[in-house]
Amino acid sequence: MQRAMGLVRRCVEDYQMIMPGDKIAVGVSGGKDSMVLLRILSALRDYFPGGFSLAAVTIDMGFGMDFAPIEAFCAAREIPFLRVQTEISKIIFDYRKEKNPCSMCAKMRRGALNQAILEQGFTKVALGHHYDDAVETFLMSLIFEGRISCFQPVTYLDRSGVTQIRPLLYLTEGMVRRLAEEEQLPIVQNRCPADKNTKREEIKELIRNLSKTYPELKERVFGAMQRLPLPEWGTVPHQRSSGK
């Protein structure tokens, strides 16, 4: 836990993600990534200079998932919890019958999340994207779209006035998984029909295979994003040098 908190704090400082007095909403899906993010930020707020407030917001897409354990977790740590009921699942799978639903689903979830946090008076949202997510997203853009791109550590959305931050960027997926187990965090099983059958899963498998021959593949891709050709990431003083 201490190592993970140290990496999150370093990431927050490197990219100036949190300012004193910030009101931060954490987008909580119930998966390991968002729950680890919520756990670490709830600990970090206790001694962060100037302090910040924290809330958890869950977009219920209508898959019948039980978020009661998440609500109980938040109550035990004095974190306000908001569950927003939507019909995203019906729109995607029943009405539109999307064959490749992930892109539209992500857009609808982001829209619902941004609207919810603005209604609650928040202008900053923390998302659970980690080190591996960044590498995978970069390669997905390159291979499937023919462009060099990735999400940014800090993104200001001028249409909504919301700022997205990604404090887990220095944590690998393995670290996140182990921390979720060690902390015995309540994880809600994903009931989406497309889960584990996506383009991202294809890229995960590609990276696993390439890493057998090129063990430093992820470190080099991540380092490249911190330098060029993604200048919005910036060159920071503490670059992640290990994907383990």
- Nearest C-alpha neighbor of 137 from the set 128, 126, 148, 127: 148
Q: Would residue 241 count as lying in a domain?
A: no
Number of independent structural domains in the chain: 1
The domain that holds 23 is classified in CATH as 3.40.50.620
Q: Would residue 240 count as lying in a domain?
A: no
* pLDDT given at position 195: 67
* pLDDT given at position 190: 76
Query: Domain residues for 130?
Result: 2-233
Q: Would residue 159 count as lying in a domain?
A: yes
Contact 161, 118 (CB under 8 A): yes
- Kindly give the residue spans of alpha helices, DSSP state H, lying in the chain: 2-14, 32-44, 68-76, 88-89, 102-119, 131-140, 173-182, 199-213, 217-226
Radius of gyration, alpha carbons of the chain:
18
Indicate the DSSP class of residue 204.
H
Structure confidence by residue, pLDDT tens digits, 11-27? 999 999 999 999 999 99
* Assigned token pair, 117: 């946090």
Q: Would residue 238 count as lying in a domain?
A: no
* pLDDT given at position 243: 44
Below-70 pLDDT ranges, the chain: 97-99, 193-197, 229, 234-244
Burial (CB count within 10 angstroms: exposed 0-12, middle 13-18, buried 19+), residue 16: exposed
Measured CA to CA, the distance from residue 69 to residue 49 in angstroms comes to 30
* pLDDT given at position 237: 52
Structure confidence by residue, pLDDT tens digits, 68-92? 999 999 999 999 999 988 878 778 7
Q: Determine how many CB atoms are found less than 10 A away from the CB of residue 131.
A: 24
Q: Would residue 89 count as lying in a domain?
A: yes
* pLDDT given at position 158: 85
Q: Would residue 186 count as lying in a domain?
A: yes
Single-letter code of the amino acid located at 30: G
